[in-house]
Amino acid sequence: MNIDRIRAAAARLAGHAVMTPLLESPLLNRAAGRRVLVKAECLQRTGSFKFRGGWSALTSLPSEVRQRGVIAVSSGNHAQGVAHAAELLGVPAVIVMPSDAPALKIANTRAHGAEVVLYERATAIRDELGAQLAAERGLTMVKPYDEPEVIAGQGTCGLEIAAQARAAGVTEAEVIVPCGGGGLTSGIALALAAEAPGLRVRTAEPAGFDDTARSLVSGRIERNASATGSICDSILSPSPGDITFPIIAAHCGPGLVVADADCLRAMAAAFLRLKLVIEPGGAAALAAALAQTNRAPDEAVICVASGGNVDAALFQTALDRFGGDCN
Amino acid sequence: MNIDRIRAAAARLAGHAVMTPLLESPLLNRAAGRRVLVKAECLQRTGSFKFRGGWSALTSLPSEVRQRGVIAVSSGNHAQGVAHAAELLGVPAVIVMPSDAPALKIANTRAHGAEVVLYERATAIRDELGAQLAAERGLTMVKPYDEPEVIAGQGTCGLEIAAQARAAGVTEAEVIVPCGGGGLTSGIALALAAEAPGLRVRTAEPAGFDDTARSLVSGRIERNASATGSICDSILSPSPGDITFPIIAAHCGPGLVVADADCLRAMAAAFLRLKLVIEPGGAAALAAALAQTNRAPDEAVICVASGGNVDAALFQTALDRFGGDCN
C-alpha cells in the first residue's frame, strides 16, 4: 500500500463519489471549546464511505474479470457500497447476508440490483459459503477492509480531508476515525501522512470492542471477546486486518474508546448543530472528540462521520435522551 | 437587481459560506421514478441559507456604517444568519424577537453574540420598534427578503446549483424552492436565468400560505389570510415582497402547494435516503417533487432543502409517521 494507489483510486472515483463537505458549527465549537470539523461521509452514496472502497476495488479489476461479477459477504454498509458500485458499472453482484439481517438492509441491497444469498447464522460458515459461490460462478470476492484497492478507495476520503482542512486553515490537528477492521483508518492515515503530515489519525471504538486500541498497545493483532453487544454495529469487526494493522501501527496515535451513550449524544449533537444523520458507529469519532474536555482552544479536531444508516427508532432514542440537552 | 450583484455577493461569500453539496440517492430516485437532486442548504452555516443573505448585506455596507452595528427583526433563521454574520465580522447586532419565541432560538441568537430585544406580541408593533431602535442607536436594518443585497446573497445558492447541476449532467430541470417572502426564490431565479437557462424555478408553499402561487395567478401581490397554522414556520411570510415578486413573476413557473403531511414525509425521506435533517418549511420543495407522480423518467428535478432548524420533537413526529414507510 502506498499513496500512489490512493491517488489512482481518487482519479477513478472523480465524478462518481460525492466530495463530502467538511462541516463545522459555531455553536458546536462553542460547546466543545475548540473547533470541531466533521467530515460528513454519511452523505456519501449509499450513506457511508464504503462506496469509495467498493468502486475502487471494482474499477481496479481487469474488464473481463469484472464482467463476470463480484461477491461480498456483509450485512451492512459494505454490502450496499459494493452492490451500488456494481449497479453503476453494470456488472452482477452477489451479496451474502445472514437470514436474520434487518429486512430494510436486505431490501436496500436488492434495490441496488444485487442478488442476495441468505445463510443461517447458526449453521453456515459464511466465508466458506462466499468462497464456494465465488468459485462456482467465477465471481471476484471484494473483502470489506483487508484488501489494498479497498483501502485505497477509503483513503480518498483522507485526500479530501487534507485539502479541506488546509482550506479551513487547519494544518495541525487530530483526525479521529471510527474504526472497525481499519480500512478507512489505514487509508486516511496513509493519505494524511503524504499530504498533511500535521494531521495525525487516532481511532475511535466502542467500549468492549477496542481491538485496535489494544492492538496498538500490545503491538500485535488483538481480538474482541464478543461479536455483538454495542449499538455501533458498523464498527464491530473482530480485529484489525493483516494489511490494515501495520499501517495503523505506523501512523496512528493511541486509540480512543467511547461508550454507546457517548455515541447517542454525538448523534443528537449532529442533528441539532450540523443537520446530519449519523449512525451510532459513524458517530464514534465525534463522540470521542466531545468527550475530550481538557483540550486547548487552539487545538482543532477533525472527526470523520463515517456513515448514516440508522433506523428511525434508534435515532429517536438518541433524540429522546440527548436532543434537548447536548449544548 | 441583476446577475452582477449576485456574482459580487458570491465573491464576498467565497471562503465564508459553505458550498453546500447537491446530493442524490439512487434509492430515492428509484422511489420517485426519476432523478431527484437535493441542494442541501440545511448544511449552511447556522442551518439555513439565511447566512448567505446576512453576510452579503453586511459586507456590502460601507465600513463605518457596518461598524455602528446592524439590526434585524426575526424569530427564526434570518435572526441567526444575521447574528452569525455580524459575529464573524466583529460588529454589534441587535435582534428583535417576540417574547414567546422558542427559548432555544433566543439562546442560539444570543450564543452568536447578538443582543436580543424581546417584545410582547400583543402590544408592540415590531417593525416600529425595530425602526426606533435603529434610529436611536445608528444601526442598519437588515430586512429578511425585500432588500437587493439580501437577494444577491441568496442568489449565490443559484450560482452553485447551476454549476453543480451541469457537473451532474442535468441541463434541463425544474428547480423547486421553498418560498416565504421570496428572497431565496428570486435570487436563485435570477442566477439560473443567467447561468443555466434550462433550469426553471417553481415555488413550493404550504396549503393555506400560498400567497406567491396566488400572486403568480393574479399577477399582483396577494396576501395570506392567516399568519399561523402550518408546521412550516420558516416560510409563512404574509406576501411576496415588492422587489422579490416582479422577479419571481418574470422567471418562475406556476407555484406548487403542499400539505404539512407531505413535508413530514419528505423529512423522513431525507432522513432515510440522504442523511439530512430538514425542517418542515425546508422540506416543502422535496415534498412537492415527491408528490409529482406523473413525470417522465428523464425529467430530473432539483429541490432546495433550505434549512434544518427543527426541534427534536417535531422531527420525531416525522419519523413516527413516515420513518418506516417512505419508500
Whether the per-residue pLDDT at B325 is higher than 80: the answer is: no
CA dihedral A269, A275, A278, A282 (to 10 degrees): -70
CB B252 within 8 A of CB B182: no
Partners of A203 in beta bridges:
A177
B275/A308 CB distance under 8 A? yes
CB contact under 8 A, B21 and A30: no
pLDDT at B285 over 50: yes
Ranges A188-202, B123-137, B142-156, B183-197: which has the least confidence:
B123-137
The mean per-residue pLDDT over the stretch B295-323 comes to: 95
**Any idea of the CA torsion for A271, B39, B20, A108, to the nearest 10 degrees?**
60
Determine the pLDDT at residue A282. 98
**pLDDT for B326 beyond 60:** no
* Helix, strand or coil, per DSSP, at residue A307: strand
Residue of chain A whose Cα is closest to the Cα of B166: A15
Give tens-digit pLDDT for B67-119: 999 999 997 899 999 999 999 999 999 999 988 887 878 889 999 999 999 99
> CB B42 to CB A277 under 8 A?
no
Report the residue of chain B nearest A85, measured CA to CA: B26
- B271 contacts in chain A (CB < 8 Å): 277, 312, 315
Q: Does B308 touch chain A (CB under 8 A)?
A: yes
Asked if residue A320 has pLDDT above 50, the reply is yes
Touching check for B50 and chain A: CB below 8 Å? no
The answer, yes or no, to whether residue B209 has pLDDT greater than 70, is yes
- Write down the pLDDT at residue B327: 41
Structure confidence at residue B213 (pLDDT): 98
Q: Does B179 lie at the interface with A, CB-CB under 8 angstroms?
A: no
pTM greater than the 0.80 cutoff:
yes
3-class secondary structure, A295? coil
CB contact under 8 A, B111 and A323: no
CB contact under 8 A, B21 and A42: no
Q: Which residue has the higher pLDDT, B43 or B227?
A: B43
Q: Convert the pLDDT of each residue in A18-74 to its tens digit.
A: 999 999 999 999 999 999 999 999 999 999 999 999 999 999 999 999 999 999 999
pLDDT tens-digit readout, A283-294: 999 999 999 988
Residue B52: its pLDDT value, please? 98
What pLDDT shows up at residue A326? 44
Q: How confident is the model at residue A327 (pLDDT cuts 50, 70, 90)?
A: very low
Tell me if A9 sits within 8 A of A153, measured CB to CB: yes
Residue A100: per-residue pLDDT? 84
Using alpha carbons only, what angle is made at residue A231 by residues A80 and A120, rounded to the nearest 5 degrees? 60
Q: What are phi and psi of B116, to 5 degrees?
A: -100, 125
- B271 vs A277: CB contact, 8 Å cut-off? yes
Q: Does A274 touch chain B (CB under 8 A)?
A: yes
Type of residue found at B108: N
Question: A with B: how many residue pairs have Cβ under 8 Å apart?
Answer: 90
For all residues of chain B together, what is the average pLDDT?
Answer: 95
Interchain proximity B45–A30, CB inside 8 Å: no
C-alpha to C-alpha distance for A73 and A105, rounded to whole angstroms: 13
Partner-chain contact A276 B274, CB within 8 Å: no
Q: Specify whether the backbone of B252 is left (phi greater than 0), alpha (psi in -120 to 50) or beta.
A: beta
* CA atoms lying within 13 Å on the CB side of residue A55: 28
The three cell numbers locating residue B205: 408553499
A23 and B19 in contact by Cβ < 8 A? no
Q: Can you give the length of chain A in residues?
A: 327
- Chain A neighbors of B276, CB-CB under 8 A: 43, 275-277
Mapping DSSP to helix (H, G, I), strand (E, B) and coil, where does residue A305 land?
strand
Residue A277 has pLDDT above 60, yes or no: yes
* B308-317 per-position pLDDT tens digit: 999 999 999 9
Question: DSSP character for A309?
Answer: -
- Average pLDDT, integer, range A234-257: 96
Indicate the range of A152-156, A267-271, B223-227 predicted with least confidence.
Answer: B223-227
* Nearest by CB: A27 against B40, B42, B108: B108
What pLDDT is attached to residue A325? 52
Share of chain A above pLDDT 70, in %: 99
Quick: pLDDT tens for A222-231: 999 988 889 9
Q: Which residues pair with A93 in a beta bridge?
A: A70
Least confident of A115-129, A149-163, B156-170, B207-221: A115-129
Pairing of strands A22-23, A36-40: antiparallel
User: What value does the mean pLDDT take over residues A117-125?
Assistant: 83
What is the Cα A102 distance to its own chain's centre?
A: 19
Which pLDDT tens digit goes with each residue over B14-56? 999 999 999 999 999 999 999 999 999 999 999 999 999 999 9
Average pLDDT over residues A253-279: 97
- Of A263, A268, A200, which Cα lies nearest the Cα of A234? A263
Mean local confidence (pLDDT), A138-156: 97
* Closest of A46, A57, A64 to residue A13, by C-alpha: A57
